[in-house]
């Protein structure tokens, strides 16, 4: 009867060794699987990081291109504005000369002969000529102001349209 406990102990030891071997194989499989998933995870993180870096670079490049285009449009608008102001100054000078000439004509209307009837008509004509001269001066000044405002608005509107066209033409092509 003493042999039975030793056989049981031997069988128990064999079962424990077998269970240990199976557990070791299981742990090895888990470790290998974990390492494989960690490698895949690291590869995915790396590819996503590269994609983020590439996309960020593309968007920054596009933003810089758009800003450069907007700056160019603004510079062109400033040049156009300067040209318009120069043209307005030339037109103002011509208007001033016209007003001076109208004033001279109004003044010459008062030069009449010694006839009293003609003198009265001359005074009335002088007043009418002075009123017309003043009216011409005001109308010309107002026309100059309106032309200046129109030029400024037109230049600003064209610049705005150019910027909008630049942005809308590249918005769809810039998106991945």
Per-residue pLDDT reduced to its tens digit, 161-176:
988 888 887 655 555 4
3-state helix, strand, coil in the chain (%, to 5): 95, 0, 5
**Least confident interval from 60-69, 70-79, 99-108, 127-136:** 99-108
Query: What's this model's pTM, rounded to 2 decimal places?
Result: 0.57
How much is the average pLDDT of 40-55?
97
pLDDT above 80 (res 109) = no
Structure confidence at residue 176 (pLDDT): 47
Beta-carbon contacts of residue 135 (< 8 Å; ≥ 6 apart): none
Per-residue pLDDT reduced to its tens digit, 73-100:
999 999 999 999 898 889 888 888 887 8
> For residues 122-137, b (16+ Cβ closer than 10 Å) or e, as one string?
beeebeebbeebeebb
Per-residue pLDDT reduced to its tens digit, 130-155:
788 788 888 888 988 898 899 999 99
pLDDT above 90 (res 46) = yes
The residue that leads in pLDDT, 12 or 116, is 12
The residue that leads in pLDDT, 2 or 48, is 48
Q: Of 79, 92, 83, 104, nearest to 144 (Cα)? A: 92
């Amino acid at each position: 009867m003493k042999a039975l406990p030793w056989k049981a102990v031997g069988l128990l030891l064999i079962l424990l060794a077998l269970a240990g071997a199976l557990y070791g194989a299981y742990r090895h499989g888990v470790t290998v699987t974990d390492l494989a998933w960690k490698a895949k995870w690291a590869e995915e993180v790396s590819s996503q990081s590269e994609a983020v870096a590439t996309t960020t670079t593309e968007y920054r490049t596009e933003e810089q291109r758009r800003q450069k285009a907007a700056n160019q449009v603004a510079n062109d608008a400033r040049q156009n504005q300067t040209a318009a102001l120069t043209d307005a100054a030339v037109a103002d000078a011509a208007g001033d000369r016209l007003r001076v000439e109208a004033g001279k004509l109004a003044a010459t209307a008062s030069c009449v002969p010694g006839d009293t009837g003609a003198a009265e008509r001359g005074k009335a004509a002088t007043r009418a000529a002075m009123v017309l001269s003043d009216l011409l001066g005001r109308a010309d000044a107002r026309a100059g102001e309106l032309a200046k405002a129109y030029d400024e608005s037109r230049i600003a509107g064209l610049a705005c349209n150019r910027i909008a066209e630049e942005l809308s033409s590249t918005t769809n092509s810039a998106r991945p």
